[in-house]
Amino acid sequence: MNKFFIMLAQTYTNRVKSKSFLIISAVSLVLIFGLSNIQSIIESFNKDNEKTVAVLSDQPQWVDAIEQGVSGEEDLSVKGYSGTLEEAKQEVQNEDFDAILQVQPTENGLPKASYYANQIASQDISGPIKQALQQLKTEIVTNQADIDPKTLQEISSPVTFDLVPLKESAKTAEELDQTRGLVYIMLFLMYFSVVMYGNMISTEVATEKSSRVMEILISSVSPVSQMFAKIIGIALVGITQFAIFILAGYAGVKLGKNNGSGSFLDMIGVTHAKASTIMFAVVFFILGYLLYATLAAMLGSLVSRLEDAQQIVAPMIMMVVASFFLAIVGLGMPDATFIKAASYFPFFTPLIMFLRVGMLDIPVWEIALSIGILIVSIVLLGMLGARVYRGGVLMYGKSSSLKDFKRALQLSRKENQ
């Protein structure tokens, strides 16, 4: 048992001290702080950066209407221009104005506009201007048709449509929106965890085999102990990294609230998610990691070169991708039959069942059954993985085919005899 913990500690310390761990952690911290305070960051860049649009028109009331239409935009102002269009274009090129808008009447007396700017890719100016022109056109057409503006406003206003669940235990519309945000985070965390830490486990084994360290380790530590030491060791690396991310996210959210600005987590409603939903997210995440980590260790034992390790885990990555896209589809139809069936397939269960648990009122026995299936699958895959790992670590040379399972199992049986 002491050798197991030595292997576990070595795997953990080597990965935590690696440059890749430090770089990924540093970049992620910057990203987390940025998302947690996205609103204040945007406001700081937009501060003292007011945009001015000059309007050329023979209709002064149109200029006033456009100015009134963009009055809600804090960083955008409109002013009439009395010069020629060529003079206005020159002032835009000289950056005296950010854009020039020429508004002319059509044969029907409706406004027709041309927008001139040095760059037209961004819509932060042209968008509000276009909307103000649309409002102006609507007012003119309303007056020409002698329609009461209040009647037109009632026609264009959105219909009141309340979603009311009849079951008391069913999720409300607000709870569903909050769960969607948490599901999105779960999807990306599971995907990147499997890709990153799964590859980390497989390359860890391949690296030791390529350096012939495995021959020394086998004589002192059993292959099964090695496999689970690597799985748990890298799991601790992941827990360490996620703990750093969570603390950074918490500090970022607190900083954003102290500054009076919203955060990315507030936008998607995660800060108001139920404790039970977060608990199921943690349970399915841990079980999903153990399932894929065991598979990654088993696959990694079949190769002895780093370039082969990427190829051998490709089927596992494809299953994660399939689960990812299936869950994205399930966000819009969580009660579909194919989503329900997929939630009981072990490699899809972590994401799909969590999706159903978060968005639907499903019986407790379904949740227990899915967790039971996951646990049984992890145990069976662990038993199979232990046998494959025991024989796979003895295999050297170019190997990137899943046909090597048979050879690994044969070597495992010979070792036991």
Express each pLDDT in 286-319 by its tens digit.
888 888 888 887 777 676 666 667 777 778 888 8
Average pLDDT score, the chain: 77
More confident residue, 113 or 275: 113
Cα 326 to the chain's mean position, in Å? 15
Q: Is the pLDDT of residue 373 over 90?
A: yes
Domains and CATH numbers, the chain: 50-156 (3.40.190.10), 171-416 (no CATH)
Q: Is the pLDDT of residue 85 over 70?
A: yes
Q: How confident is the model at residue 253 (pLDDT cuts 50, 70, 90)?
A: low
Q: Per residue in 322-360, pLDDT tens?
A: 888 888 888 888 888 899 999 999 999 988 988 888 788
Of 21, 379, 347, 387, nearest in space to 227 by CA? 387
Neighbours of 322 (CB within 10 A): 14
Q: Is the pLDDT of residue 212 over 60?
A: no
Whole-number pLDDT of residue 150: 76
Q: Is the pLDDT of residue 166 over 90?
A: no
Take residue 270 and report the two structure tokens written for it. 């995660």
CA distances from 315 to 295, 309, 320 (A): 10, 12, 9
Q: Is the pLDDT of residue 86 over 80?
A: yes
Lowest mean pLDDT among 5-9, 70-74, 208-212, 351-355: 208-212
Calculate Rg over the CA atoms of the chain.
30
Question: Strand, coil or helix: what is 126?
Answer: helix
Of 118, 102, 313, nearest in space to 200 by CA? 313
Whole-number pLDDT of residue 368: 92
Whole-number pLDDT of residue 376: 93
What's the half-sphere exposure (Cβ side, CA atoms, 13 Å) at 12?
Answer: 17
Cβ proximity of 230 and 205 under 8 Å: yes
Whole-number pLDDT of residue 6: 76
Q: How confident is the model at residue 89 (pLDDT cuts 50, 70, 90)?
A: confident
More confident residue, 9 or 410: 9
Please give the Cα distance from 111 to 63 (Å, whole number).
11
Report helix angle 19-36 to 223-258, nearest 10: 30
Whole-number pLDDT of residue 345: 92
Cβ proximity of 201 and 8 under 8 Å: no
Whole-number pLDDT of residue 192: 77
What's the half-sphere exposure (Cβ side, CA atoms, 13 Å) at 208?
Answer: 26
Q: Is the pLDDT of residue 135 over 70?
A: yes
Whole-number pLDDT of residue 344: 92
In the numeric block, the tokens 């407790």 are attached to 364
pTM: 0.67
